[in-house]
Amino acid sequence: MIIDDYLAWCEEWLKEIHRLTTDKARCVEFGYFECPDKGKAIPIAYLLWNRIPFYVVKRLFGIMGLVGVQRMFSPRNEKFLWCVKDPDNYTFNLDLVRDKDVKYPNQRKNGKLKCNPLGKNPSDVWQFPKVTSGTDRSSQERTPHPAQFRIAVVDRIIKACSRESDLIMDPFMGSGSTAEACILINRPAIGFEIRKDYVDLAAARLSRFWKFLLLEAKSPPSFRAS
């Protein structure tokens, strides 16, 4: 699409998500693209902020490996917009996503621990290894999808912004990372994808994952695949 058409389309599906969702937190991810005569790597969120019907709580950064480019710095991050319907009433489970990598976990002040025993706040800059590909270096969760997220990224977002009873909706399901993360942390999920090859890819991936859980004698939540 040309940029104006793409932004209008984004506004359309964002309004539909706003209409369909309850007053719980939403996280919307946007990349960046080149704007002719304006810039080479313009974050899409910069062009959409006044079209988003949600209240934007914060922008988050995910550091996920290096992408090789020439004549500019290599992009290393994904930008997430943490959006909610009601800025005074939304789900945020900090204790479920605390970072246990604390440099001085036993440091005290006036006899009290300075750091929460569960870990520190992970902040708004997250670092994860990217999903690699290639012979002898491919990530275990690698699929043929060209823009695959780490399960760990989706896991943190869903844990922080939902409860077990909440239905998680992914309007662009891709390789099925959101659904797999939901199975792991006992959230029901629904997803949409217009490309049949990605639908088949996600279905096969989730089927393999489900069989793995059963073989490992886990107790996965009940769900119906369709």
Distance CA 67, CA 132 (A): 11
Q: What is the mean pLDDT of residues 116-143?
A: 76
Q: Where are the alpha helices (DSSP H) in 139-224?
A: 151-161, 177-184, 196-215
Type of residue found at 114: K
Phi and psi of 32, rounded to 5°?
-150, 160
Check whether 11 has a pLDDT greater than 90: yes
First CA to last CA distance, the chain: 31
pTM: 0.79
pLDDT of 77 reads 75
Q: Which CATH superfamily is domain 134-218 in?
A: Vaccinia Virus protein VP39 (3.40.50.150)
Which two tokens mark 131?
A: 């999903």
Check whether 15 has a pLDDT greater than 70: yes
- 163-190 pLDDT per residue, tens: 988 999 999 988 898 998 998 888 999 9
Q: Which residue do the tokens 């073989």 mark? A: 215
Residue boundaries of the structural domains of the chain:
134-218
Which two tokens mark 55?
A: 């209240």
User: Is residue 150 within 8 Å of 133, Cβ to Cβ?
Assistant: no
The three-point CA angle 188-48-2 to 5° equals: 105
CA 136 to chain centroid: 27
pLDDT band of 225, cuts 50, 70, 90: very low
Distance CA 131, CA 124 (A): 21
The contacts of residue 100 (CB under 8 Å, 6+ apart) are 118, 119
Buried b (16+ CB within 10 A) or exposed e, 16-36: ebeeebeebbbbbbbebeeee
Q: What is the mean pLDDT of residues 147-151?
A: 72
Q: What is the mean pLDDT of residues 55-75?
A: 75
pLDDT of 144 reads 65
Q: Between the CA of residue 85 and those of 16, 132, 142, 172, 184, what are the distances in Å?
A: 13, 35, 34, 20, 26
